[in-house]
Amino acid sequence: MSKNVLVTGGAGYIGSHTCVELIEAGFNPIVIDNFSNSSSVSLERVEELTGKKVCFYEGDVRDRQFLDTVMQAEEIDSVIHFAGLKAVGESVEKPLEYYDNNISGSIILFNAMRDNGIKKVVFSSSATVYGDPHTLPIKEDFPLSATNPYGRSKLFIEDILRDIYYADNHWQVTLLRYFNPVGAHKSGRIGEDPNDIPNNLIPFIARVAVGQYEYLSVFGGDYDTPDGTGVRDYIHVVDLAKGHVKALQAFEKDDLDNLLTVNLGTGQGYSVLDMVKAFEQSSGNEIAYKIVERRAGDIATCYADPSYAKEVLGWQAERGLREMCDDTWRWQSQNPQGYAA
Ligand code: NAD
Ligand code: UD1
C-alpha cells in the first residue's frame, strides 16, 4: 500500500501540524495549497522540523486539470481535505465565495478522486454543525444545523460525502468534527498565522499579550455559565493533528464502518476568562480586557463527548490548557509577525 496522502490546504494552520505528525508516523504527505490563507514558509518549517522534503504543488482544489496532474503523478492512497475558507463573519458577507471555495472545491476534488481511483477521505468538519445543542456534552448523533454560510458549507460537504458513501460503499469516509483548535508545535516554529485581525479568541489574546492590541473584547458577560462568559472545548492542534493520523490508520482496520463521524475535542470546557488567566500565566503579561456585547451567532457553551474517538480511533487528547497556552505563547513571541518576517 502506498503511504502517499494528498493533503489539501496542507500549508495552513492545522494542515502544517498534521504534515509533521504524518511524516513522524511514516506517511508521505503530498501537499496542495493555493496559499490564499497561508505561506510556503510553513512547509519549509515542516521540512526543518522533520528533516524530510515535503512534496508540494501550488494550485487550487477547484482546478480539475491541476488535480488530475497531481493524482496521476503521485501514487495517492488517501486524501485529507483541509482546503477551504473558515471565517464565519466573512462567510456572511461573501456567501458565494464560501460556497464556491468550500462546496464546489469539494465536489471537484471528490470527482477527481473517484475518476483516479482514490476512495479514502478524511474531511475537516467542525463542531459548528451542532448549532446550539440542547444538552451537553455533545455526541456525534446530536441533531445538526447551521446558522451561517460557513457552517452550512461544512454540513453540505458532510451530506455530500455521506451520499457518496451510500452510493458506493467501497469509499472510506471519516468526518472529523473539530472543537476549538489552539496551540502550536512545541518548537515554536509553526503555528496559527491569521492574515487579518484574528476572529478567534486565542490568536487575539496572543496579540494582546505581545502588545499588538491594547485589550481583548470579551463578547458577553451574561451567559448562563459559571463566570458569565462563553465556554468552549479548546483542543491542542498537535492532538488534533494526531487524530488525523489515527483516522488514516483506522482505514486499514477491517472491523470498523467505512463511514465514521468523530468528535475531536477534549471533553473539558473553559470560559473566556479561564483562557485569559491561563494565558497571563504562560506569557507573564497582563491581558487587559473589556466585557462588551455578545457576538451575534455565539452560543453559551460547547464541549464534546470525546468517547467515540477513543473507541473507534484509539485517540484522545493528551495536552492540557497550560500546554496550549505555553505553546501558543512560544510561537507568538518568537514570530510576532507570523511567517511574514
Ligand atoms: P487555514 O486557513 O490555516 O488552512 C486552510 C488552507 O487551505 C490554507 O493554507 C489555504 O491557503 C488553503 N486553501 C483555501 N482554499 C483553497 C483552495 N481553493 N485550493 C487550495 N488551497 C486552498 O485553516 P485551518 O485552521 O488550518 O483549517 C483547516 C480546515 O479545518 C478548514 O477546512 C477549516 O474550515 C476546518 N476547521 C478549522 C477550525 C479552526 O478553528 N481552525 C475549526 C473547525 C474546522
Ligand atoms: C468559531 C466559529 C466556529 C468555528 C470555530 C473554529 C463563530 C460564531 N464561530 O467558534 O464556527 O468552527 O470558531 O474556527 O465565529 N471571544 C471573545 N472575544 C474575541 C473572540 C472570541 O470573547 O475577541 C469568545 C467567543 O464569544 C467565544 C469564545 O471566545 O465564547 C471562543 O470564540 P472563537 O475562538 O471565535 O471560537 P467559536 O466562537 O467557538
How buried is 211 (Cβ within 10 angstroms: 0-12 exposed, 13-18 middle, 19+ buried)? exposed
Ligand 1 atom nearest residue 125's Cα: 44
Main-chain phi, psi angles of 45, to 5 degrees:
-70, -35
CA 178–ligand 1 middle distance (angstroms) = 12
What is the structure's pLDDT at 267?
Answer: 98
Ligand 1 atom nearest residue 150's Cα: 34
How many structural domains is the chain composed of?
Answer: 1
**Nearest-CA neighbor of 30 among 51, 57, 52?**
57
13 is a domain residue = yes
Q: What cell does 97 get?
A: 465565495
72 is a domain residue = yes
Q: What angle do CA 61, 65, 69 make, to 5 degrees?
A: 95
Residue with CA at minimum distance from ligand 2 atom 6: 180
For 13, the domain range is 4-183+234-265
Residue 203: CB within 6 Å of ligand 1? Answer: no
What is the structure's pLDDT at 163?
Answer: 98
Q: Residue 97: nearest ligand to its CA?
A: 1
Residue 292 in contact with residue 298, Cβ under 8 Å? no
User: Under 8 Å CB-to-CB from 265, ≥6 apart: which residues?
Assistant: 127, 138, 178, 179, 233, 235, 303, 304, 306, 317
Alpha helices in the chain (DSSP H): 13-24, 41-50, 64-73, 88-93, 95-98, 105-115, 149-167, 201-209, 237-250, 272-283, 307-313, 321-334
107 is a domain residue = yes
Q: CB count, 10 Å around CB of 322? A: 11
307 is a domain residue = no
Q: Is the peptide bond before 226 cis (omega within 30 degrees of 0)?
A: no
What's the CATH code of the domain at 12? 3.40.50.720
What is the structure's pLDDT at 317?
Answer: 98
Q: Give, for all 341 residues of the chain, the pLDDT tens digit.
A: 679 999 999 999 999 999 999 999 999 999 999 999 999 999 999 999 999 999 999 999 999 999 999 999 999 999 999 999 999 999 999 999 999 999 999 999 999 999 999 999 999 999 999 999 999 999 999 999 999 999 999 999 999 999 999 999 999 999 999 999 999 999 999 999 988 888 899 999 999 998 999 999 999 999 999 999 999 999 999 999 999 999 999 999 988 899 999 999 999 999 999 999 999 999 999 999 999 999 999 999 999 999 999 999 999 999 999 999 999 999 999 998 899 87
Amino acid identity of residue 255, one-letter, is D
Pocket around ligand 2: residues whose beta carbon is below 6 Å from it? 86, 88, 126, 128, 150-151, 180, 199-201, 204, 216-219, 230, 232, 272, 295, 297-298
What is the structure's pLDDT at 1?
Answer: 62
Q: Which residues are catalytic?
A: 150
Residue 13: CB within 6 Å of ligand 1? Answer: yes
- Which H or E run includes 292? strand 289-292
Please give the Cα distance from 339 to 341 (Å, whole number): 6
* Ligand 2 binding pocket mutation candidate from 125, 128, 178 (most atoms within 8 A of CB): 128
Residue 86: CB within 6 Å of ligand 1? Answer: yes
339 is a domain residue = no
Return the SS3 of 88: helix
Residue with CA at minimum distance from ligand 1 atom 21: 33
Residue 174 in contact with residue 122, Cβ under 8 Å? yes
Ligand 1 atom nearest residue 35's Cα: 11
335 is a domain residue = no
3-state secondary structure 163-195: HHHHHCCCCEEEEEEECEEECCCCCCCCCCCCC
Residue 29 in contact with residue 23, Cβ under 8 Å? yes
pTM passes above 0.95: yes
What is the structure's pLDDT at 10?
Answer: 98
Handedness of CA 236, 302, 231, 338 (dihedral sign): positive
Q: Which residue has the cell 521540512?
A: 47
Return the SS3 of 218: strand
63 is a domain residue = yes
331 is a domain residue = no
What is the structure's pLDDT at 126?
Answer: 98
